[in-house]
Chain A
Amino acid sequence: MNLGYYPGCALHGSSNDYEQSLRACLGALGVTLAEIDDWICCGATSAHSLNHKLAIALPARNLALAGRQGLGEMFAPCPMCSMQLLRASQAMAADHRLREEMSAIVEAEVPSGPRVLNLIQVFQRVGLDTLKAAVKAPLKDLKPACYYGCLLVRPPVVVDFDDAEQPQSMEAIATALGAKPVEWGSKTECCGAGMTMAKAETVLELSGRILASAVARGANCLVVACPMCHVNLDMKQAEAARRLNTKFDLPVYYLSDLVGMALGLSAGELGVDRHFVVAGGAN
């Protein structure tokens, strides 16, 4: 399977462990990624908070580049990117004058495709049965709390993925890999998103709540499919715990880590050894 690939700024920045993980894992599954040539930032929170036109133009530029490359589908591992791309795409599909305006602004024809996939959807494409058959080391010791965060499932009218309130797509994959996901109530609660630098207090409070909820349900790790969530729950875990006068010791895996580990890839190959919180003590 060959997919267009839009890494986004985080995966080429401090969340490069996510890219390492997904490249190793998808490589092992025979999925090739065609990176979009000269992609630019999607605008993230800043664009949609400060400038409406920019919030559509920046994703539109990337859709146009993908179109130029003849890509019918693109994989965006960061849900902020995928949500922004989907939102821009939808807005232009509903208003052809907007599409014309954006095509002029971004100096390229913005097509009506391509489809945008998140990490979970990529694994669904590979197929649960295929994944199951490829498992070499079932994850029987893992009791993950599958954490979706916000933008994988919200707003449903834009992302149209799984169920916005009680999603199960990650649990299905985790189960196919031999893990025993726990049912819990905070799977779609916000971790604080991009406020890590600007509003650290908010992130610590929200992420702390999520980690505590997972621990209370007997989870021994968290699984995410978003680089921002990973930073807030992994890099900031110790500080969040200190703030609540407790310890969490919950490794936070990317979903591609889970798949990769089940396929027999090592922590080094997947970049799991670069996380802040690892199983069995601090890293």
Chain B
Amino acid sequence: MSRIGVFVCWCGENIARTVDVQQVVDAIGEVPGVRCAGHYKYMCSDPGQAMIRDKIAAEKLHGVVVASCSPHMHLKTFRRAVNAAGLNPYLLEMANIREQCSWVHHDRPLATAKAIELIKLSVAKVRHDRKLDPIRVPVTRRALVIGGGVAGIQAALDIADSGYEVVLVEREPSIGGKMAGLSETFPTLDCSQCILTPRMVEAGQHPRIRLYTYSEVESVDGFIGNFKATIRQKARYVDMTKCTGCGECAKVCPLKRNLSEFDYGMGMRPAIYTPFPQAVPARPVIDKNVCAKIIRNGCGLCEKKCAPGAINFKDTDRMVEEQVGAIVVATGYKLYSIGREQNSDKLRGYGEYGYGKYKDVIDSLQFERLVSASGPTNGELKRPSDGKIPQKVVFISCVGSRDNAKGMQYCSKICCMYTAKHTMLYKHKVHSGEAHVFYMDIRSGGKGYDEFVRRAIEQDGAKYYRGRVSKVTEENGKLIVRGADTLAGIPVTIEADLVVLASAMRPSDGAAELAQKLNVGYDENGFLSESHPKLRPVETNAAGVFVCGACQAPKDIPESVAQASAAASKVAITFAASELTREPEIAHINEQTCAACFACVRTCPYHAVEKAEIRARNGALIKHTARVNPGLCMGCGTCVAVCPSKSADIEGFSEEEIYSMVEALA
């Protein structure tokens, strides 16, 4: 190609202060193949772009080089400009003479010389550029939402209301997540279930939401717009088509004393149970680990009692396949386990707090169930050991959070707020009671949040001590809490009737394994990784997979809901056209020369290379070859590096182009 146009930008003073633009233009004008060389103060501006378009037409340019800032800034701008002038947008190269030249050097002559070299490289490259077209990939406009807590429900409703079908998968027998178990929420003290259950019902009844409860995602194949999810529906032993939700089975079940998961062990449930009255779906499951009929063919009372004959002891897990185009992960959180059993060698629990040793030392979710109106004690705060109403409650913040030695390093964000809330709930129930809080800092940055905490202290009379607690022991029926107040500089000891530990928020069990199935990254704490912490908080580096809610980082309900709607909007963007376009700078394999060693298949981090066969028309096998899936390939170049036969190459960054750049320097 011999008609290349070069456009050098001043970028105001950003480039021109260090690089002599005129000298660069003059030097580049002498390079063979360069038809014209010009400059402008702001190449990205409308007049700047117009200059490029005019020159393309006037000089009949075959290729364009813009020497300016990083392609991260304006690559799209210039591609569009070039395209508008009728030139293929991939016949454009950018030479970064700002971030990689004028911004990092001080010596004007040397920087100018370097700028000229950089542009020469781009000229050499653009000579070998080929016309490329964006890749088009079909889109299945259905979404998969994994996790049925408030974030998952919100995302599902938003996507469904946008007109797309949603498959909502939830691991527990009912949707609702942690929020369904809360008593009241901050800062409004709204009854949690009252505001959530309408959403739950809506999700359960929405014509475009297909709800799989008591189910888990087993595997996911495919790529954006074309995922295939395999979902395991765990055996409920209850036929959902026949069951009316009357609850008679639970009443006759003789195995009544199993620790209730929903109540975090503060209450009991039978072997056949619905987790809570407002469950969606309001249908029971049978706990196969304790059911006498399932284990040793005994009992069977529920089956006998069930009028519609909905009990089915022969039930098995079922695998279902769903085709979707986008995935939203909303798997939520669990609390740090305070006892000795941990899932990592670095975590050791807090033996000094006596959790698990003393019945009246509980965590925050357990407290929520005890004060919840629909909880195991019907909203009366009866302490676990003897059912008495505690007159002195101590709340300990930061258990497991902000702790490099034995817990998680990070701050769990919500505990300051819910601890203040807990003191208020307690004082509202036990007017004469004393609420004591040991804290390190108060983190209350949301709307109305700080006012809420001050209300707990100033109006509801919660006593706050600034210091951590060292130990909790039991003497004479009282829990002795040994803490400190660093503001006064003294140790503080309180004899409590109940101790509530604000335990750290961690990602739910299985989140890391799920992330691996989806090719989504996660950090050292197991939280799923967003693409960019500031500008892309709900996207992941796996195209078509989005995150929202506490699985990404500790956060409260307003943030989870906002993120869920954000993820839904990203899904809507993905579904906006019937086809997705992707950048064409991806790998391709020369199938003639490919030796089918499949090193690329094994090394591709995106699983984008497949094994394929080339067959003759009569079906006879000619050869095996590797083949790049244009929907998945991210153009990283790993296959190019490992290919022993040089069959793999990247469009727009071909080996020929790279070598020509090197030779241009020599």
Contact = CB atoms under 8 A, between A and B. Distances in A.
Interface string A223-262: 0000000000000000000000000000000000000000
Interface in A137-173: 163-166
Contact of B475 (A163, A165, A166, A213): A213
Interface string B163-201: 000000000000000000000000000000000000000
B473 interface: yes
B321 interface: no
Given A163-B351, A165-B350, A216 B475 contact: yes
A164 B340 CA distance: 11
A61 to B, nearest CB: 32
B474 interface: yes
A163 B348 CA distance: 9
B475 A185 contact: yes
A183 interface: yes
Interface in B461-476: 473-476
Nearest to B472: A185
A185 B354 contact: yes
Interface of A: 163-166, 183, 185-186, 213, 216
B354 to A, nearest CB: 7
B473 A185 contact: yes
Nearest to A157: B405
B474 A165 contact: no
B476 A165 contact: no
21 contacts: A163-B340, A163-B351, A164-B351, A165-B350, A165-B351, A165-B352, A166-B340, A166-B351, A166-B354, A166-B357, A183-B357, A185-B354, A185-B473, A185-B474, A185-B475, A185-B480, A186-B473, A213-B473, A213-B475, A216-B475, A216-B476
A164 B351 CA distance: 8
A187 to B, nearest CB: 10
Sort A-B residue pairs by CB-CB distance and give the 7 closest, nearest first.
Answer: A165-B351, A185-B473, A166-B351, A165-B352, A185-B474, A163-B351, A216-B475
B368 to A, nearest CB: 26
A166 B351 CA distance: 6
Nearest to B358: A185
Contacts, number: 21
A226 B549 CA distance: 52
A283 B447 CA distance: 70
Contacts of A164: 351
Given A163-B340, A166-B354, A185-B475, 10 more contacts: A165-B350, A165-B351, A165-B352, A166-B340, A166-B351, A185-B474, A185-B480, A213-B473, A213-B475, A216-B476
A205 B473 CA distance: 18
Which has the most chain A C-beta neighbours within 10 Å: B350, B357, B475? B475
Contacts of A183: 357
Contacts of A165: 350-352
Contacts of B351: 163-166
B610 to A, nearest CB: 51
A72 B476 CA distance: 47
A63 B293 CA distance: 64
A165 B350 CA distance: 8
B482 to A, nearest CB: 10
B187 to A, nearest CB: 36
A185 B471 CA distance: 10
Nearest to A166: B351
A174 B89 CA distance: 82
Nearest to B480: A185
B481 to A, nearest CB: 12
Contacts of B352: 165
Contacts of B475: 185, 213, 216
Question: Which residue, of B354, B474, B476, B480, has the highest number of chain A Cβ atoms within 10 A?
Answer: B474
Nearest to B351: A165
B328 to A, nearest CB: 41
Contacts of A163: 340, 351
A163 B357 CA distance: 14
B23 to A, nearest CB: 58
Contacts of A186: 473
Interface string B340-362: 10000000001110100100000
Most buried by B among A163, A164, A165, A166: A165
A132 B476 CA distance: 34
A186 B474 CA distance: 9
Contacts of B354: 166, 185
Contacts of A166: 340, 351, 354, 357
Interface string B473-489: 11110001000000000
Nearest to A163: B351
Interface in B349-394: 350-352, 354, 357
Nearest to B357: A166
A163 B340 CA distance: 9
Nearest to B354: A185
B293 to A, nearest CB: 38
A100 B474 CA distance: 49
Nearest to A212: B475
Contacts of B476: 216
Contacts of A216: 475-476
Nearest to A183: B357
B133 to A, nearest CB: 61
Nearest to B405: A157
A96 to B, nearest CB: 27
B360 to A, nearest CB: 13
Contacts of B473: 185-186, 213
A186 B472 CA distance: 10
Q: Which of A163, A183, A185, A213 has the most CB of B within 10 A?
A: A185
- With most chain B CB atoms within 10 A of its CB, the pick from A164, A166, A186, A216 is A166
A163 B351 CA distance: 8
A195 B340 CA distance: 33
B468 to A, nearest CB: 15
B614 to A, nearest CB: 61
Contacts of B480: 185
A160 B509 CA distance: 29
A164 B475 CA distance: 20
Contacts of A213: 473, 475
Nearest to B479: A185
B350 to A, nearest CB: 7
B342 to A, nearest CB: 12
A21 B350 CA distance: 35
